[in-house]
Amino acid sequence: MELKRVVVTGLGAITPLGSNVSETWENILNGVSGAAPITYFDPSQFKTKFACEVKNFDPLKYFDRKEARKLDLYAQYAIAAADEAILNCGVDLETLDKDEVGVIFAAGIGGIKTFEEEIGFYYANKDMGPKFNPFFIPKMISDIAAGQISIKYGFHGPNYSTCSACASSTNAIIDAFTNIRMGKAVMIVAGGAEAAITPGGVGGFNAMNALSTRNDEPTRASRPFSKSRDGFVMGDGGACLILEELEHALSRGANILCEVVGGGMSADAYHLTATHPDGLGAKLVMKRALKDAGLSPDAVDYINVHGTSTPVGDISESKAIKEVFGEHAYKLNISSTKSMTGHLLGAAGAIEAIFSVLSVVNDIVPPTINFTEGDEDPDIDYKLNFTFNKAQKRVVNVALSNTFGFGGHNASVIVKKYTK
């Protein structure tokens, strides 16, 4: 069958750096960190006392009080991001065939805040018998953001959540891309959301020694590829892209931002939490994305890397890039925007795909901030253009975004400038 072409026509985001896409992007280009002391709970007894929280989020700007009580914070972020993306894409909801529109929205964890509160209340008040909020389960489950968005807008197309840890929302984008190009929908609302900056979330990652403990300088804690990196910084928020079949977008005069041309998936099949030391899964996923897109490695101008600022992960990814791209690896730009947003877990792929889209649209590469000194490990080759500390102007025709998750899940998506 002839595959349909798929384009991006709308973007939405609520992040530690802004309440919308434009504010977030401006701060990204200016190298602003979203890290600060945790305010969601008292972190004084935790090893890590800071994170990249969404600032000044008021649910009542998006929902009435009754509706907000039915939604975990992660779902609130998801709906807020989707609202912006749908408005941004300029579609007429009155004439849109909603049977042909889907929602594929990811979460790596889902409603952990709701889970902690409900279970905590039960064990603190066991003598009262089992008393649970009737919305406990629908607030908690990781698919509910996709369901809530479809209910709000009446979209009857494919509707589900993808869950592959930190690769979750890249998988959502790839699934949306695949469904549209196979003719199963004309438009899909795709993205991810997470709100895991909770005692359980921070405490759990602390127990694994996965988080930075640089409590004295939070804004400089996420430092991918620096010798002194000591773990990732948690972030929360939501991000959304509107993927649309090209002819459908043209027929309604949509503003086409770029084209989605390929996606790849792989498994490390190695370890619960660590990446393969030789970057095996990372190499496979980038090669598969390039093959799916019908592109040679030298077509890529920018890679938004997973780059979490962990000692092992940064090494394996840089090693994989050198092996996949060969000599061209020294000509393309690389950057980790997690150095500014923190790690949005299940939402990371969606927000980083947005940054990749905006790099293509604006011909600029965002920086990797907080670089101090190079690692002594020879597998991090500092002749690669990591775009340290300052955004760089260059023509970006093709951008690739990598995400890797606990369990060895890897996903990469490729976007390029739209041409007729």
Residue 176, SS3 per DSSP: helix
Which string of b and e fits 372-388 if b means at least 16 CB within 10 Å? eeebeeebbeeebbbbb
Say if residue 116's pLDDT is above 90: yes
Amino acid residing at 184: K
Give the closest residue to 403 by CA, choosing from 168, 78, 107, 178. Answer: 168
pLDDT in tens, 222-255: 999 999 999 999 999 999 999 999 999 999 999 9
Residue 304 pLDDT grade (very low, low, confident, very high; cuts 50, 70, 90): very high
Active site residues: 166, 306, 343
**Dihedral angle computed from the Cα positions of residues 386, 389, 393 and 398, in that order, rounded to the nearest 10 degrees:** 40
Specify burial of residue 363 (Cβ count, 10 A radius: 0-12, 13-18, 19+): middle
**What is the per-residue pLDDT across 7-33, written as a single tens digit (0 to 9) for each?**
999 999 999 999 999 999 999 999 999
What pLDDT is stored for residue 193 in this prediction? 98
Alpha helices in 154-198 (DSSP H): 168-181
Q: Give pLDDT tens digits for 36-69.
A: 999 999 999 999 999 999 999 999 999 999 999 9
| HSE-up (13 A, CA, CB side) for residue 290 | 17
Cα 51 to chain centroid, rounded: 16
Residue with the larger pLDDT of the pair 175 and 378? 175
C-alpha dihedral over 212, 213, 219, 225, to 10 degrees?
Answer: -40
Mean pLDDT calculated for residue range 396-416? 97
Q: How far apart are CA 225 and CA 71, in angstroms?
A: 37
Please report, rounded to a whole number, the percentage of residues in the chain having pLDDT higher than 70.
100
Paired tokens of 305: 């890397």
Q: What is the mean pLDDT of the chain?
A: 97
> What is the enclosing helix (H) or strand (E) of 303?
strand 302-304
CB 260 within 8 A of CB 212: no
Question: Looking at residue 378, what is its pLDDT?
Answer: 83
**pLDDT of residue 351 exceeding 90:** yes
Please report which confidence band the pLDDT of residue 1 belongs to, taking 50, 70 and 90 as the band edges. confident
In angstroms, the CA 40 to CA 117 distance is 13
- Flag whether pLDDT at 178 surpasses 90: yes
Is residue 315 a contact partner of residue 380, using CB atoms and an 8 Å limit? yes
Note the pLDDT tens digit of each residue in 98-114.
999 999 999 999 999 99
pTM: 0.97
Q: What average pLDDT does this structure show over 115-135? A: 94
Per-residue pLDDT, 379: 82
7/216 Cα distance (integer angstroms): 44
Over residues 340-345, mean pLDDT: 98
